[in-house]
Amino acid sequence: MLRQETRDAGIAVLLGEGVRKAEERAARYDKAATWAVWSFAGVAIGILAFIIGTIFFRGITTALTPSFVFGKPQAIQAGGGIWPMIVSSFYLAFLTIAIVLPVGVGAAIYMSEFAKEGWITRLVRFGADSLSTVPSVVFGIFGMVIFVIYFGLGYSLLAGALTLTLLNIPTVMRTTEEAMAAVPHSYREASMGLGASRWETVKKIVLPSAMPGITTGTVLTVGRIVGESAAIIYTVGLFVRKIPTSPLQPAAPMAANIWHMYTEGALVSDWMRVANGEAAFLLIVVLVLNLLARLLAKVYQKKLGTKEAR
Amino acid sequence: MARERYIKLLLMACASLSFLAILLIFIFILRESMPALTKVGFGNLFTSTDWNPDKGSFGILAFLNGTILTTLGGLIIGAPLGVGTAIFLDQVAPKKMATVIRRGIELLAGIPSVVIGWFGLIILVPFIARITNSSGYGIAAASVVLAVMVLPTITALSVETLRSLPIELKEASLAMGATRWQSIRTVLLPAAREGILVAVILGMGRAIGETMAVQMVIGNSRQFTLSLFKPTATLTSRLVTDMGEAPPGVFRSSLFAMALVLLIFAMLLIFSVRMITRKRKA
């Protein structure tokens, strides 16, 4: 009898020991996992910092001076600048926005305010999803076939802008739809209750309230356009040295020109320097646009007193 | 009222443009690749590794191989890094720090691919060349570059999924005495499985389609290789390299056939994402 009790007590002690060990091991794993995810995030941020740091450092130490930024590119001798490329990048961006913004916002208005769920909306969503997954180089050669050759636009800012419109429709649509979804339903009901039509409600109530989201989305889209290269080298061009004056002229936006410098660089003896400077300048433009978008969102948020969604 | 109708039609036209566009892209790419598909033949195009347009051989297997290997490489490095970072951001990081890091990763997504390619060219390729005693160009360099490019996609979407999980899941698990890691591994990650899978698939889409950054570090040779450190090419890099010089004809058409393959890859990814999300909703 007594023996039985002793044995039970012994088992209890052993079990307790096992549980303690398991707990210890769990705590060890927990610590290791915590450490691991900290280092993963550290690596991710480290990569970002390293890339930005390297590009800036190279650009600033080798190239970025006012005479480089505002200078004329050279065909053969060293010492050329990139001003026409900068102008081309922004020209292309504004031309694209001028086309994609009305179309994308219009599509978003239809999807969120007018359409009933059905086969049309399903087709549109499928189209937008597909467009956002198709590689940009495919857009590029499609634009080349249809806009450059078939419509006879030649290598031109317009052909590039039309190509980039297709590329950016899904993003503009999505950001606009999100912005409109954030407008409370009571606004619409109030407006329509007062006798306004659906379109009047959209125009006077929904769009103005969604404007902050649309503006932020547009600034981010400008950033994407300025950074895009694969879709434009066979629609806009990549080695023109003139400042474009008409949408029907070819141009060489920065992103395309960096690639050109690297593929055909030997033409200019200081191609490394030009590409370094151009990469740094392009990165600065993109970062500034990102910050601007964030700043705009914050300003609007304060003005409207609403909380940011995320 | 009539005006309202016209406006609605106009808006509908805007919306239908997205579907029309993808349809047009498909039709035109298919049409342009027809000469290659018929003259070179389906089999030849996809099973031959001999790409020599001047001599009339148009095998794209070597580039298909390059696309698959670099994409896998990019995901093998990028997916754990992205999901790990997402777990950190959602579960471990102090709130302020999480915001800062998330913003940083959004910035990483915004860096143009030529800039990342240029970084690869001036830093990564020389580095790999030094440690492996090779040219430095090849699948290894391209994989690292792609890992950087899929990281923001995978992180952002994984964070979103983790965040959408009900807080009770984690609380219940912690209340049972589980450690944080046990809760993450046995409760949260299984619950987030589909969302993370979608994140990885969309990351894969980005990797398959990435062109300029890969083109700048892979070396663009025509050879078929399984080596990580030998120059080769992907579908996208070959396409963008040769398009400038290809005269109309079978040569150019076979480049469009590469685009067709990319397009089909993209469609397959879309469909698999739809299947996964539909199953989750049901």
Mean pLDDT (whole number) for A43-47: 93
The number of distinct structural domains making up chain A is 2
Q: Is the pLDDT of residue A24 over 60?
A: yes
**Together in a domain, A255 and A274:** yes
SS3 assignment for chain B: CHHHHHHHHHHHHHHHHHHHHHHHHHHHHHHHHHHHHHHHCHHHHHHCCCEEHHHCEECCHHHHHHHHHHHHHHHHHHHHHHHHHHHHHHHHCCHHHHHHHHHHHHHHHHCCHHHHHHHHHHHHHHHHHHHHCCCCCCHHHHHHHHHHHHHHHHHHHHHHHHHHCCHHHHHHHHHCCCCHHHHHHHHHHHHCHHHHHHHHHHHHHHHHHCCHHHHHHHECCCCCCCCCCCCECCHHHHHHHHCCCCCCCHHHHHHHHHHHHHHHHHHHHHHHHHHHHHHHHC
**Together in a domain, A95 and A220:** yes
Q: How far is A239 from chain B (nearest CA, A)?
A: 12
- pLDDT, one tens digit per residue, over A254-289 is 999 999 888 876 667 788 888 899 999 999 999 999
Mean pLDDT (whole number) for A241-259: 89
Q: How far is B279 from chain A (nearest CA, A)?
A: 17
What average pLDDT does chain B have?
91
CATH class of B63-247: mainly alpha
Q: Which two tokens stand for residue B256?
A: 């469009």
Q: How far is B109 from chain A (nearest CA, A)?
A: 10
Pick among A24, A31, A40 to test the B interface (most B CBs inside 10 A): A40
Contact B46, B61 (CB under 8 A): yes
**Together in a domain, A181 and A295:** yes
Q: How far is A56 from chain B (nearest CA, A)?
A: 11
Q: How far is B43 from chain A (nearest CA, A)?
A: 23
Chain A's closest residue to B144, CA to CA, is A47
Q: Which two tokens stand for residue B179?
A: 């450690």
Q: Is the pLDDT of residue A73 over 90?
A: no
| B275 close to A (CB below 8 A) | no
For residue B25, list chain A residues with Cβ-Cβ distance below 8 A.
134, 138-139, 142, 166
- pLDDT, one tens digit per residue, over A219-240 is 999 999 999 999 999 999 887 7
Mean pLDDT (whole number) for B21-36: 94
- Residue A71, pLDDT score: 84
**Together in a domain, A5 and A142:** no
**Together in a domain, A120 and A209:** yes
**Together in a domain, A99 and A131:** yes
Tell me, yes or no, whether A309 lies in a domain. Answer: no
Contact B99, A34 (CB under 8 A): no
For residue A146, list chain B residues with Cβ-Cβ distance below 8 A.
24, 28
| B193 close to A (CB below 8 A) | no
Say whether B110 and A224 touch across the interface (CB within 8 A): yes
Mean pLDDT (whole number) for B180-199: 91
Chain A's closest residue to B178, CA to CA, is A26
Tell me, yes or no, whether A240 lies in a domain. Answer: yes
Contacts A–B by Cβ distance under 8 A: 264
Host domain of residue A28: 1-62
- Residue B213, pLDDT score: 94
**Together in a domain, A131 and A154:** yes
Tell me, yes or no, whether A216 lies in a domain. Answer: yes
**Together in a domain, A215 and A184:** yes
Q: What percent of chain A has pLDDT over 90?
A: 53
- Residue A310, pLDDT score: 40
Contact A223, A286 (CB under 8 A): yes
Q: Give the Cα separation of A227 and B213 in Å (integer).
A: 12
pLDDT class of A207 with cuts at 50, 70, 90: very high
Which single residue is written with the structure tokens 């952002």? B156
| B249 close to A (CB below 8 A) | no
Say whether A41 and B151 touch across the interface (CB within 8 A): no
| B280 close to A (CB below 8 A) | no
Among A36, A62, A88, the domain-final residue is A62
Mean pLDDT (whole number) for B156-178: 90
- pLDDT, one tens digit per residue, over A168-191 is 999 999 999 999 998 888 989 899
- Please report the ipTM that was assigned to this predicted complex: 0.93
Say whether B111 and A106 touch across the interface (CB within 8 A): no
> What contacts 24+ positions apart, CB below 8 Å, involve A21-26?
A26/B178, A26/B179, A26/B181, A26/B182
- Residue B124, pLDDT score: 95
**Together in a domain, A214 and A254:** yes
Tell me, yes or no, whether A67 lies in a domain. Answer: no
- Residue A79, pLDDT score: 75
Pick among B212, B220, B271, B273 to test the A interface (most A CBs inside 10 A): B212
**Together in a domain, A163 and A48:** no
Pick among B181, B216, B235, B261 to test the A interface (most A CBs inside 10 A): B181
Say whether A127 and B22 touch across the interface (CB within 8 A): yes
| pTM beyond 0.95, yes or no | no
Mean pLDDT (whole number) for B125-144: 93
Tell me, yes or no, whether A267 lies in a domain. Answer: yes
Say whether A199 and B7 touch across the interface (CB within 8 A): yes
For residue B202, list chain A residues with Cβ-Cβ distance below 8 A.
133
**Together in a domain, A99 and A55:** no
| B174 close to A (CB below 8 A) | no
Among A44, A62, A80, the domain-final residue is A62
- Residue A155, pLDDT score: 93
- Residue A308, pLDDT score: 45
- Residue B199, pLDDT score: 96
**Together in a domain, A139 and A265:** yes
Among A41, A62, A83, the domain-final residue is A62
Contact A47, B196 (CB under 8 A): no
Say whether A138 and B122 touch across the interface (CB within 8 A): no
